[in-house]
Structure 1
């Protein structure tokens, strides 16, 4: 097996590259799928069941950014699966794509993961900053009045500024960043491996 930490382990064969494409592709696919399950539920639930959005009749900039981030994450999950399909072509000499094409595919996956991570970080910074500002504006020891869903009664709690839905949203952002990090690491490792091969079209 190819050793990424050994600088002398250069010029891997297409068969070695194919094995790593299959291995890292499946690892990235399942890890990103598990991490992306919660963000998908949060965004879909916000779009379909958020009463504030239904009353406003449109998408806010934050929700639009979350949808764009989600689409990039779904694309990166599919792209990890595509690495496993690319491994089959690398094993067959007649179907083997050019090195430049493989590098372009990896760079596209790299860009998608960087994009999803960047958007998720911006959303997380805005959301956490908003919650922090709310907490700082409330006097210490004060009570917060929270309207109930039926709008007929109110519930008085002690400092209840961060709701369970806020924590779920923050966890979804963290999962999205972690998912992008997994895809980023997979793409970088495969890109490094492909660049080590001097002539993948001629080696068998």
Structure 2
């Protein structure tokens, strides 16, 4: 009874694991690169070309979080590329690293992607909360599109929701999606490496 629960998953050879590292690494690298374009451009533009974000004591806490998220995002993109390099070592018995070292690399990539998602979610919750509060302060039925446009109600300065706000939200969503892609790939590779008792064999 319930003998089907005792069926073991097929063990993968080091060559099969290396193949998975190569194609999953490239998939992760390109997907994260495409998703990471908007967050990278938004943060760099804010830091380099928006002096309003700079306070007398330095950058705001939110911008520091965005910079930390950007650094972790760039690292996770690089780490996906590193999986493709690791695949070459896994294919050659003389260069093949120990299973513990491979697991450490995968766990580091997993933590980096979880870190990216965590910081991006914190920033998104804060930013969307601010925009929601601004919307709630507008008069009921008011429409705010462009300042001084005829037929619209313009609230106090600073309460307008601009295209830059929407681009920032899109950047946060992209950062979360990029971290999710990297985390899923790291988990898939961790599972495959776990199916092999010893990569040195």
- Same fold per superposition (TM over 0.5): yes
Structure-2 residue corresponding to 1:133:
133
> 2:110 matched to 1:117?
no
> Could you tell me how far 1:97 is from its partner in structure 2?
0.1
Number of residue equivalences: 189
Instruction: Tell me how far apart the structure 2 counterparts of residues 11 and 199 of structure 1 sit (CA, whole Å).
Output: 11
Structure-2 residue corresponding to 1:190:
189
Instruction: Tell me how far apart the structure 1 counterparts of residues 54 and 190 of structure 2 sit (CA, whole Å).
Output: 44
Taking only aligned residues, the RMSD between alpha carbons, in angstroms, comes to: 1.9
TM-score (norm. length: structure 2): 0.88
Structure-2 residue corresponding to 1:14:
14
- Extract unaligned runs of 5+ from structure 1: 1-6, 147-153
Q: Cα deviation per residue 1:144-189 (whole Å; 9 max; x = unaligned)?
A: 697xxxxxxx635446832100000000000000000000000000
Instruction: Tell me how far apart the structure 1 counterparts of residues 145 and 87 of structure 2 sit (CA, whole Å).
Output: 58
- Extract unaligned runs of 5+ from structure 2: 1-6
Structure-2 residue corresponding to 1:66:
66
56-65 vs 26-35, which deviates more? Answer: 56-65
1:168-183 correspondence to structure 2 within 5 Å? 168-183=167-182
- 1:93 is paired with a residue whose SS is coil
Instruction: Tell me how far apart the structure 2 counterparts of residues 167 and 30 of structure 1 sit (CA, whole Å).
Output: 24
TM-score (norm. length: structure 1): 0.87
> Could you tell me how far 1:143 is from its partner in structure 2?
6.5
- 1:161 is paired with a residue whose SS is coil
Does the 8 A contact of 1:10 with 1:197 survive in 2?
no
